[in-house]
Amino acid sequence: MGLRAALSRLAAAAPVPVFLAPGAGGRSPAQRLRLSPYLEVVDSPRRATVMLVVGAVAAGAAEELHRVHDQLPHPRAVLWWDMETGATAPPPLPTAERVVGDEAAVVGAVVAAHRGLLSAGRPSSPPLLADVEPNDWRGVGPFGQGGKGMTGGTPYGRPLPTRAPDRDGLELDQLVLTLGPWLPMLPAGLVVEVKLQGDVVQEVTLAPSPGLVPGAAPADVFERARVEPVPIAELELARARHHLLWAGEVLVLLGLVAESRRVLRAAVAVVPGAAAAELAHAARTAGALASARRLRHPMARVGLVGADRLGEVAGPTARASGVVTDARTDDPAYRSLGFEAVTEEAGDALARWRVRLGEAVRSLELAAEAGDRLTSVDCTPEGPRGPWRAGGPSPSTALAHLAPGLLVGLEWGDAVVALASLDLEPAELAADAARPAEST
Amino acid sequence: MTRTLAGDVVFAAAGIGSVLSAWRVFRTDSMVRAAYWLLASFVGVGIILVLLSASFLGLVLMLMMAGEMTIMAVFMVMFMMNPAGLNPMTMVHQRRSATTAGVVSFLALAGVGLVAHFPDRPVSPDARPTAELGQELLGDSMLVFETAGVTLLATMIGSIALATHKGRFGDAQSSSLPPPVDPAEPVAAEGAAEPPESDPHAGMDHR
Amino acid sequence: MIGSVVALLVLLAAGVVATALIDSAVGAVVGGEPVGRALKGPFTRSALLAVQGRTTTERPDAGTWRLAPALLGGLAAVGAAAVPLGRGLAAGDVPDGIVLFGVAMALVMVAVFLHGWSPNSPFPLFGAYRFAALALSYEMPLALVLIGTALPAQSLSVGDIVSSQAGLWNVVRQPLGLPLFLVAVAGLAFWGPLNVADAPDLVGGTAAESSGPALLAWRAARSAVLVAAAAMAAAAFLGGWNGPLLPGPVWMAVKTMGIVALVVTSGHRIPRVRLERFVVVAWVVLIPLALLDVFAAGIVAL
């Protein structure tokens, strides 16, 4: 008992392994939590002591929330960071402890919950789902396993996979998985139904999680730019920050977790009014990442998008396929700054990486040069994923149409990188789905 | 190697263990488990060989079987009609004749073991069994044999190189029948191998 | 006999702790964080894993799931036993030392495959299959370059191989050997760029469903494999206990941890390989290079 108590005391001092379930408006606050020295954001709920719901999650995702919750080992706790966006109900988690306030308050609450679990007798959160078999199988079949013969029945409660021809014309089993909405290698809030043969993707459907509530997140500078003039400096800093945060996410997928924290730290420092040294550091970071030779091979020729397959897609993804399209070139304020779009020819994940990081560097320069210039309100603003005019469909919807065809035929590791390289935002998909269907 | 109590205990454990795990091969209901029970049985045999001072043979047996059994498990899962091996399946066919053959061969081999005259002179400690084994097996034809071995390996590597999509007839993806392996590549007209498109990342050579 | 086994296990455990500390320190430097605080991480995290509860999946193969970490750790110990720390200081300096090492490292594939197959869950299974493909690719270069070091020594014993390097280390004599072996070391411990089995794109791959003490055991066993393979690299290519001034075992420890640091640093700097391309490179580039290494070593030995 003495050993266990000593271990518990030591464990209470550990960085808290926390599994994040970001809801509406929770994606970028969740990113910032990665930088806290008191937390360790883990990629599997099997490793966490605390599950943290960031932002609003509607009742539509109750089952998924419960599933994730029950995968945490005991002792466990679940917390909800209420962003206080108003009109949002608490997430459908009966044992969730509500936390309000800023990042420091949330980190404090998470650490307190962790220490309470390990040393102060805080009760572990009980399971939310009943431990039941997905199908009735016991006692059926010759071994009581639920099926007969080679391929019959639902052995042990799971139906056997169906078969389909693979890319080489062989008949192989298909594994159908529903992944998300909080699988760390997919954009938070995205539900992906994928058919796999081996780990080669055969078919993909993407949908936003039903737990995403449109309009629950506060409007960012890009949304404001649709309806009112905003300072170019602020807009461009937000763009640089967005691209750097995105690069941090991609680095995790490439296995460079420590480096991604360095990039995240550079990214969150990019705010209006930041010191010039901070901005210069961010620009150097982005420039070095864009040209890093060691990062080429996992992304080169992955997720090729020819200019002819772009469809409605604009923004960085189109510019990476050699299409010179940037809504900023129409804006007289940008033209007066001598703005030119950053483009690449290759159309692969590496080209998208270089375009985004090249744009981050360019944005930081623009922000420094822009002074107090404002955007023109009669021009469509160029968001970080492409132009999005008020009332129109979001850039993510066009990307979501492009993505399934892009992923088919890729191995899982490449498919994940290809999907991340598109920078889909599930909240935008949810917002489009919620709009009255006047244009499809 | 002189006989010790510890050696005897390990010998008995390895012998009984390998027979038991060999029996489990036929009693389990999953192909992966069957393959690894068989591996466990071979490891037992390898340990016995090591104890009999044929350490090289014993270790090489284990070395070979480790990879082989994994490949066997993967191939069995791939080729069997039972997808993913989820439905329990019996690992035996023609039960009656198989049992008879098994019992007869076990008795025959056990009989040989009991009847045969084994040499009982102790091996001198400075014997070099590995070198002697090599001489015994190959003798003067070592060079010929090694050359053939390396040639076979080169043939294997060559056939793999040919089988990859960057084979000798150019990039397989640019002319394979639909659906193309890489969805970004347009399906080429039949029989017409497209020239490889120029690589935008000059210097990178892949796909 | 028992004393040397205990010494081996203690040294291996020390190597595992040192590996965790190096990994934390390099991670902190790369991530731009204070190193001092990061050095506490391995201890507090391990304590937390030790007190966390077990979890299970739907119908796992519980027996092999528990067995896999123990098997991996045991194989690391067997592999390390073949490597002498100083002249005559090996727990198992058998005449066929490099074959014994080869056996242990070949069986690593079985341990990793079982660890991914047992939980009955897709991502661990992907990790298991990926590792099988990886292992089949690095094993040939591994075996060939080790045979290359045995040729000048005219012996399969690791002690003799180290003794044969008293004048000139194999890293100079066989320049292809160490780089190829380092690739195999990273592959064996599925570390850094070759971490395809427990990769972040599979939320931890074979360990995705593991938690608590089982995860701690798995991570420790994996580090032990890295240490054992690095010790073999130090013995076979860097002259083992040979070195001026310091006693032999200290040189061995320094060289081993140097190799570990190299592999760990590569993990923080080089992105994960694309497995399909790595397999092609292994078979059409690395194996021919390893053959070249053996031929050159054989010609020199003649």
Residues B123-157: tens digit of each pLDDT:
776 777 777 877 888 878 878 888 898 889 888 87
pTM of the model: 0.90
Q: Could you tell me the pLDDT band of residue B68, with boundaries at 50, 70 and 90?
A: confident
If contacts are CB pairs under 8 Å, which of residues 164-183 in chain A contact chain B? 167, 173
A145: Cα separation from own chain's centroid: 40
Q: For residues C193 and A377, which has the higher predicted lDDT (pLDDT)?
A: C193
Q: Which of A4, A37, A258 sits opposite C37 (nearest CB)?
A: A37
Q: In this predicted structure, which of A158-172, B40-54, C74-88, C279-293 has the lowest mean pLDDT?
A: A158-172
**Using an 8 Å Cβ cutoff, are A142 and A149 in contact?**
no
Residue showing tokens 């060289």: C255
DSSP strand pairing (A97-99 vs A175-179): unpaired
A258: Cα separation from own chain's centroid: 18
Contact list, B154 vs chain C (CB under 8 Å): 291
- C-alpha torsion A108→A111→A112→A115, nearest 10: -160
Whether chain C has a CB inside 8 Å of the CB on B150: the answer is yes
CB atoms within 10 A of CB C70: 13
Assign 3-class secondary structure to C21-80: HHHHHHHHHHHCCCHHHHCCHHHHHHHHHHHCCCCCCCCCCHHHHHHHHHHHHHHHHHHH
Can you give the pLDDT at residue B182? 55
Can you give the pLDDT at residue A306? 87
Mean pLDDT of B29-57: 88
Residue of C257, C238, C267, C265 whose CA lies nearest to C19: C257
Contact list, B81 vs chain A (CB under 8 Å): 150-151
Contact A261 C274 (CB under 8 A): no
Q: Could you tell me the pLDDT band of residue B204, with boundaries at 50, 70 and 90?
A: very low
Q: Could you tell me the pLDDT band of residue B87, with boundaries at 50, 70 and 90?
A: low
**Using an 8 Å Cβ cutoff, are C52 and C211 in contact?**
yes
Residue A259 has pLDDT above 90, yes or no: yes
Whether chain B has a CB inside 8 Å of the CB on A409: the answer is yes
Whether chain B has a CB inside 8 Å of the CB on A149: the answer is yes
Buried-exposed string A99-131: b where 16+ CB fall within 10 A, e elsewhere: beeeeeebbebbbbbbbebbeeebeebeebeee
Whether chain B has a CB inside 8 Å of the CB on C94: the answer is yes
Q: Which of B55, B73, B74 sits opposite C96 (nearest CB)?
A: B55
Q: Could you tell me the pLDDT band of residue B169, with boundaries at 50, 70 and 90?
A: low
C52's CB contacts (< 8 A; 6+ apart) are A11, A49, A73, A74, A75, C211, C212, C213
C230's CB contacts (< 8 A; 6+ apart) are C185, C256, C257, C259, C260, C263
**Using an 8 Å Cβ cutoff, are C84 and C58 in contact?**
no
Strand segments (E) across A272-426: 382-383, 386-387
Q: For residues B75 and C184, which has the higher predicted lDDT (pLDDT)?
A: C184
DSSP summary character for residue A171: E
**Using an 8 Å Cβ cutoff, are C256 and C234 in contact?**
yes
Distance between CA atoms of residues A175 and A163, nearest Å:
9
If you average pLDDT over each of A86-90, A352-356, B1-5, C199-203, which comes out highest?
A352-356
Average pLDDT, chain A: 87
Q: Which of B84, B179, B204 sits opposite A296 (nearest CB)?
A: B204
The alpha carbon of residue B166 is apart from the nearest alpha carbon of chain A, in Å, by 15
Can you give the pLDDT at residue B84? 52
Q: Which of B67, B153, B154 sits opposite C106 (nearest CB)?
A: B67
> What φ, ψ does residue C10 adopt, rounded to 5°?
-65, -45
Can you give the pLDDT at residue B172? 56
Chains that touch A (3 or more CB pairs under 8 A): B, C
Q: How many residues does chain A have?
A: 440
Contact A199 C37 (CB under 8 A): no
Distance between CA atoms of residues B64 and A78, nearest Å:
49
**pLDDT tens for each residue of chain C, 302 residues long:** 677 888 889 999 999 999 999 999 999 999 988 998 889 989 999 999 999 988 888 888 888 999 999 999 999 999 998 888 877 766 666 778 889 999 999 999 999 999 999 988 889 989 999 999 999 899 989 999 999 999 888 888 888 888 888 888 888 888 999 999 999 999 999 998 999 999 988 988 899 999 999 999 999 999 999 999 999 999 999 988 888 888 888 999 999 999 999 999 999 999 999 988 898 899 889 998 999 999 898 888 87
- Using only the alpha carbons of chain C, give its radius of gyration: 19
Strand partners, A163: A173
Whether chain B has a CB inside 8 Å of the CB on A304: the answer is yes
Q: For residues B2 and C150, which has the higher predicted lDDT (pLDDT)?
A: C150
Q: Could you tell me the pLDDT band of residue A289, with boundaries at 50, 70 and 90?
A: very high
Can you give the pLDDT at residue B173? 56
Q: Could you tell me the pLDDT band of residue B20, with boundaries at 50, 70 and 90?
A: very high
Q: Which of C110, C132, C283 sits opposite B36 (nearest CB)?
A: C110
Distance between CA atoms of residues C95 and C160, nearest Å:
9
**Using an 8 Å Cβ cutoff, are B123 and C249 in contact?**
no
> What φ, ψ does residue A176 adopt, rounded to 5°?
-105, 120
Q: Which amino acid is at A238?
A: A
Contact list, A297 vs chain C (CB under 8 Å): 271, 273-274, 277
Contact list, C114 vs chain B (CB under 8 Å): 36
Residue A3 has pLDDT above 80, yes or no: yes
Distance between CA atoms of residues B18 and A386, nearest Å:
65
Contact C26 A298 (CB under 8 A): no
**pLDDT tens-place string over residues A309-323:** 888 888 899 999 988
Distance between CA atoms of residues A100 and C79, nearest Å:
53
DSSP strand pairing (A50-54 vs A39-41): unpaired
Residue A167 has pLDDT above 80, yes or no: no
Mean pLDDT of B94-115: 91
Q: Which of B33, B63, B164 sits opposite C102 (nearest CB)?
A: B63
Contact list, A8 vs chain C (CB under 8 Å): 47, 51
Contact C132 B74 (CB under 8 A): yes
Backbone region of residue A315 per phi and psi (left: phi > 0; alpha: psi in -120 to 50; beta: other values): left
**Using an 8 Å Cβ cutoff, are A91 and A69 in contact?**
no
Whether chain B has a CB inside 8 Å of the CB on C14: the answer is no
Can you give the pLDDT at residue A437? 55
Can you give the pLDDT at residue A389? 76
Contact list, B185 vs chain A (CB under 8 Å): 304
If you average pLDDT over each of A91-105, A353-367, B123-137, B167-181, which comes out highest?
A353-367
Contact C47 A7 (CB under 8 A): yes
Residue of A213, A245, A221, A219 whose CA lies nearest to A23: A213
Sheet with A190-197, side-by-side order of all strands: A175-179, A190-197, A200-208
Residue B195 has pLDDT above 50, yes or no: no
B118's CB contacts (< 8 A; 6+ apart) are none
> What φ, ψ does residue A344 adopt, rounded to 5°?
-135, 160
Distance between CA atoms of residues C227 and C185, nearest Å:
9
Chains that touch B (3 or more CB pairs under 8 A): A, C
The share of chain A scoring above pLDDT 90, in percent, equals: 38
Name the 3-class secondary structure at A386: strand
Contact list, C209 vs chain A (CB under 8 Å): 44, 46
Can you give the pLDDT at residue B188? 42
Can you give the pLDDT at residue B175? 47
Mean pLDDT of A174-200: 88
**Sign, Cα dihedral of C101, C107, C113, C119:** negative
Name the 3-class secondary structure at B3: coil
Can you give the pLDDT at residue A164? 79
C239: Cα separation from own chain's centroid: 18
Contact C274 A74 (CB under 8 A): no
Can you give the pLDDT at residue A2? 82
Can you give the pLDDT at residue A88? 67
Q: How many residues does chain C have?
A: 302
Give the N- to C-terminal CA distance of chain C in Å, as an integer: 37
Q: How far is CA A135 from each of CA A3, A58, A155, A163, rounded to the nearest angstrom?
A: 43, 28, 9, 21
Can you give the pLDDT at residue B200? 41
Give B129: exposed, middle or buried? Use CB within 10 Å, 0-12, 13-18, 19+.
Answer: middle
Q: Which two tokens stand for residue A29?
A: 């606050």
Query: Which of A137, A160, A343 to mutate to test binding with chain B, by most B CBs within 10 Å of its CB?
Result: A160
Distance between CA atoms of residues B197 and B199, nearest Å:
6
Contact C277 B66 (CB under 8 A): no
The alpha carbon of residue B45 is apart from the nearest alpha carbon of chain C, in Å, by 14
Contact C201 A253 (CB under 8 A): yes
Whether chain B has a CB inside 8 Å of the CB on A153: the answer is yes
Query: Which of B87, B90, B187, B207 to mutate to test binding with chain A, by most A CBs within 10 Å of its CB?
Result: B87
Contact A261 C41 (CB under 8 A): no
C19: Cα separation from own chain's centroid: 11
Residue A354 has pLDDT above 70, yes or no: yes
Can you give the pLDDT at residue C263? 95
If contacts are CB pairs under 8 Å, which of residues 309-328 in chain A contact chain B? 309
Distance between CA atoms of residues B35 and B46, nearest Å:
16
The share of chain A scoring above pLDDT 70, in percent, equals: 95
Distance between CA atoms of residues A206 and A172, nearest Å:
23
Contact list, B84 vs chain A (CB under 8 Å): 160-161, 173
Can you give the pLDDT at residue B184? 54
Mean pLDDT of A81-98: 79
